[in-house]
Amino acid sequence: MITDFKGKTAVLTGAGSGFGLECARIGAKLGMNLVLADVQQDALDKAEAEMKAAGAPVLARKVDVSNAQQMEALAAAAFGRFGAPHFVFNNAGVGSGGLIWENSVQDWEWVLGVNVWGVIHGVRLFTPMMLEAAKKDPSFQGHIVNTASMAGLLTPPNMGIYNVSKHAVVSLTETLYQDLRLVSEQVGASVLCPYFVPTGITHSDRNRPGAMAGEKPTKSQLIGRAMSEKAVGSGKVTAADVAQKVFDGIASDNFYIFSHPQALGNVQSRMESIVQIKNPADPFLARPEIGVKLKEQLRAAV
């Protein structure tokens, strides 16, 4: 929980676009110091210029969050400039779909590297700093928010590699919450589980590592990308709306932060299947026409 953000420090990964950029904008308005990290240099430069123009003290670094050494350098630079952060947003993420057996080793390493290892590095590097600051200062307030997804609570087909990564983030963050509660009342944790929100994640291929840049997507990956783009494009909740929910969640110490609470019925169906020891529920029960179309497309493609 953080009750007053003014003068506090935020570390934001994936800060060049989507939720990271929108949280940086809110942080600047609230008078925070900002540590901005992104793998895309042009987007990072633009975000840095905007936040400085808004009057925020800024430290910007190009960082591949899957790389331990680069994250360690980011943590050292952030601490050297602003001291222990108060708000850490482990937000950088990439998307990749397709039938789960069609994903290459490189696909798995890329998605798990960014979506899971990026969060792991953020937690292992910044949590000790925050706990040490809390030990020295009884008034210190800190909060870690990890970006998962509704795909971390559901298992929609044709996007298994993404589901796996986001389920890991939910589990990691729930455990982080419990671990923190054992050792401190001053540092909290939340998991962000957005549904279909326009953030640019459907165009994650722009940041695929060089060795993967020339790989052609499979037919199932192309089908999955088209469906995701359509769903995201029809969404009415914006990245700015979700960023405000993040700050509200921190201020009220809410662990689960959802962009679309109305989608929790699908989570309930999944959990009931588990508790009742039933086979997994139909993920398209509410929209059967989508399931029919996906099945037709995939059977024609494979």
Catalytic residues: 162
Pick from 120, 61, 115, 89: which is nearest to 2 by CA? 89
- Cα–Cα distance between 34 and 95 in angstroms, integer? 26
Pick from 69, 70, 199, 77: which is nearest to 147 by CA? 199
Neighbour-count burial of 288, counting CB atoms closer than 10 A to its CB (0-12 exposed, 13-18 middle, 19+ buried): exposed
- Cα–Cα distance between 302 and 287 in angstroms, integer? 23
CA torsion through residues 302, 196, 199, 113, sign: negative
Pairing of strands 87-90, 256-258: unpaired
- Cα–Cα distance between 244 and 250 in angstroms, integer? 10
- Cα–Cα distance between 24 and 12 in angstroms, integer? 7
- Cα–Cα distance between 154 and 225 in angstroms, integer? 18
Give the per-residue SS3 of 97-149: CECHHHCCHHHHHHHHHHHHHHHHHHHHHHHHHHHHHHHHCCCCCEEEEEECC
